[in-house]
Amino acid sequence: MDGLKIYFSDFFNVDEDIIESYGAVNISLINDMPLFVDPFLLFNSEKEAYQNIHNNIIAYLLFLQEQAERYPSPPAGMLSAWYLFSEVKQTWLGFSLEGNAGRGLGKDFAINLHRGLQSIFKDFGKETITKSSHLEKLCLISPLVGRDKISDFTTNFTKKYLLEYTATFAATYLEPEQCQKFVVPKVEFSFETHTWKTGEYVLPCFNGDYVLLTPRDMLTRDDTFINRTDMIGNLQNIAPSVEDATLRFALNQYLTDVLPRKKKEMSKTEKERAATILIADHPELIDHYIKYKEDNEEQATSISKQVVQEVKQLFNCQLQELAKLLYTKTEFYASTGDSHDEAYRRVMFLKSVIEDMDGYRIFYLNGKPIRRENDLQIMYRLVWYATEYDVNREVNNGRGPVDFKVSKGSKDSTLVEFKLASNTKLRKNLENQVEIYKKANCTNRAIKVILYFTEEEYAKVTGILNDLKLHECDDIVLINAIDNKPSASTVG
């Protein structure tokens, strides 16, 4: 597959096994891979360098806590200098479904962190229940601080290590012409001058920017090991370790009275609200939960190894197999026609590979079909790269969010949306776009691709299309990914 480039190994002509043996992830340089640095893996690591990163994070938060006491109403310059961080996009890891540009840590995060350090975080660094302080307390307090914010904050403090880690790799395995000297801002914080230092590194260069490799053993996928959803779900497991009588009574009352009494009529939002009130009234529960996670710390490493391996299997091994099939068995990578013809033609090639060339196996992981639409979207984005067309994520334009916009100039664009048949909101999604599909001469035409894995899912989708009178719409393409499937009729 000469000329087809997706991964770091492709662009820099280095063997995948070398990257693997170095301990790094063979990232894609087309789109972020869905992994991120988990601060608990740094805390729990046997590597002194990782522990030092975690210690630096805690030291910085303690510094911010001191400043929060001095400046109850922080000046804008203070927030900008000490609280705002960009995403370290050069890792090509994270949650972006287009390219590698994320939002980073903005003003809302800065203000919430400042307020937290003045109130519920006031005892940060003085914990007596847990072995250590933990950055993840931020997400335990507020549902507004999610894994992406924790990851961005953590990666900014991991950046110095990653710069040195990648520079060493580059010096050992890459040619000088593949690298460039970069001056990198915000590499290390000086607690003496209260300023961020810049650094100078020779790093792999791609499209005028540097690239960072990240070790597998500091990465996870779905959420940090310490996270809010897990805390709420584990309140029952926390209870036995609570020694304070008042707190134990409040927790037991929540478990035996509030939840069971309202179990059937309580929505997920209401359960979240009830737990939030309990935690707000008894913030010491957070430390008991963290202690529970510290006592089960071996699970963090086990989960990390499993999910990183799954991402490698899906987005490296199986995706490469898909690209190979498309390259050798179809004309997927040849450009012809306008944006609609190009998008539709490639969708039909993808359909043919999946249905007729055993390509459906690529969409199974550990014997089970993929269940994340984001995975399907990222995979399609990664194989659609060798083209003269612009392929970008489309923002919500009033018709609902769309996966991709394929365009060639301002007047030639087509929307392509990928859905799993198992999506519980599929009917609503199709209902909202009925009129779009009925207007075949619409300037921005839309193609919807629906992947199904069982006969039941196929029946569900065809039933919806019949109800909405869309069963003859050419721009709705069903793809049969049933394992060991007989030939089945499809729509599209």
Q: pLDDT tens digits for the chain (492 residues)?
A: 556 788 999 999 999 999 999 999 999 998 888 898 988 899 889 999 999 999 999 899 888 888 888 888 888 888 888 888 888 999 999 865 445 455 556 677 777 777 777 666 666 667 777 888 787 776 676 555 667 778 888 899 999 999 999 999 999 999 999 999 999 999 999 999 999 999 999 999 999 999 999 999 999 887 788 888 888 877 777 877 777 787 778 877 777 766 655 555 566 677 677 777 787 777 778 888 888 888 888 888 888 888 899 889 888 888 888 888 888 888 887 766 677 787 888 888 888 989 988 888 888 888 888 888 888 888 877 777 655 556 665 544 444 455 666 666 656 677 788 899 999 888 988 887 766 655 544 445 678 899 999 999 999 999 999 998 888 888 889 999 998 655 444 444
> If 0-12 CB within 10 Å is exposed, 13-18 middle and 19+ buried, where does residue 127 land?
middle
pLDDT value at position 280? 75
Backbone angles phi, psi at 476, to 5 degrees: -110, 115
The number of beta carbons lying within 10 Å of the beta carbon of residue 146 is: 17
Strand partners, 446: 415
Q: Give the model's pLDDT for residue 456.
A: 94
DSSP category for residue 131 = S
The H or E element that residue 389 is part of is: none
Give pLDDT, residue 210.
97
CA atoms of 75 and 83, how far apart (whole Å): 11
pLDDT at 178: 97
Beta bridge partners of 28: 7
What end-to-end distance do the CA atoms of the chain give, in Å?
29
CA-to-CA separations, 40 to 44, 57, 181, 303, 439, in angstroms, rounded? 6, 12, 32, 12, 52
| pLDDT at residue 331, as a whole number | 82
Spatial separation of the C-alpha atoms in residues 248 and 240, rounded to whole Å: 8
Among candidate residues 92, 89, 94, the one with its CA nearest the CA of residue 35: 94
pLDDT of residue 215: 97
Print burial letters for 212-234: b (CB count within 10 Å at least 16), e (below 16).
bbbbbbbbbbebbbbbbeebbee
Query: E strands along 316-389, which residues?
Result: 364-365, 368-369
Give backbone dihedrals phi and psi of 24, rounded to 5 degrees, phi first: -100, 165
Q: By C-alpha distance, which of 125, 150, 128 is closest to 139?
A: 150
In terms of phi and psi (left: phi > 0; alpha: psi -120 to 50; beta: otherwise), the region of 445 is beta
By the 8 A CB rule, do 468 and 476 touch?
Answer: no
Say if pTM beats, i.e. exceeds, 0.85.
Answer: no
Q: Name residues whose C-beta falls within 8 Å of residue 334's C-beta, 6 or more positions apart in sequence.
A: none
C-alpha dihedral, 467 to 472 to 477 to 482, nearest 10°: 70
Q: Reduced to 3 states, what is the DSSP secondary structure of residue 489?
A: coil
Strand order in the sheet with 179-190: 179-190, 195-206, 209-210
What is the predicted pLDDT for the residue at 72? 82
The Cα–Cα gap between 190 and 75 comes to: 20
CB 180 within 8 A of CB 205: yes
CA distance 464 to 469: 8
pLDDT the model gives residue 258: 63
> Rounded to whole angstroms, how far apart are CA atoms 458 and 480?
8
Instruction: Find the DSSP H helices in 193-267.
Output: 228-233, 235-238, 245-253, 259-261
Handedness of CA 227, 228, 234, 237 (dihedral sign): positive
HSE at residue 58, side-chain half, CA atoms within 13 A, is: 20
